[in-house]
Amino acid sequence: MEKIGSKIIEFFASNELIKNEDKEIYKYAFNIILSSLIHIATVMILGLCFNLLIESLTFYCAYIVIRKFAGGYHAKTPVRCYAFSVISSIIMLCLIKYANSVGNIFTYLLIIFELLCVVLIILMSPLDTENNPLNSYEKKWYKTLSVLISVCIFIISLFCVLTELRNIGYSLICGVIMSTLVLLMRKVQITN
């Protein structure tokens, strides 16, 4: 992926469409965009395979929005990140399918578990990384946003689960659960 980005940026630089001193910035941005597109395409393909396209996109959006401000675990390499993303998406899509096929007791347990996850997000967020340390202003701002977003998603998921939008509700719940899982993984990573 980095080789593709490098070749494209070199092409633009050789044709004087970007400045030589800006090449590294463009390479980084291109790799981020390409990586994001690959992740989204994978989520869509997995959603189609599970016959849960809307649910997979809902899960991914809820997860990404919370993770953006709450922080969490970051894999050391893009390949590990992609593998983790694929495996976690498959697990969450299986959970959505399973939740849809069982009774109300499982639904209520999921709601309680989601509430616990929201509390953990409130207590732990934000967790920054070595590559992206947060200053005190950013920490306060990210904390506020991660709390507001996770509480809003909890309320929306509760509404969806109690109405005819159960799968959307389950998808939102899975997004909160996954966000909490990567937050906990980062907490363990920091303490070790």
Report pLDDT for 73.
87
CB 117 within 8 A of CB 125: no
In 3D space, the residue among 152, 151, 145, 103 whose CA is nearest the CA of residue 125 turns out to be 145
Spans of the chain, pLDDT less than 50 = none
Q: Give the pTM.
A: 0.87
Report pLDDT for 131.
75
Distance CA 181, CA 175 (A): 10
Distance CA 26, CA 98 (A): 43
Rg (C-alpha) for the chain, rounded Å, is 19
Report pLDDT for 190.
82
Distance CA 141, CA 54 (A): 30
Distance CA 147, CA 69 (A): 9
Distance CA 52, CA 64 (A): 18
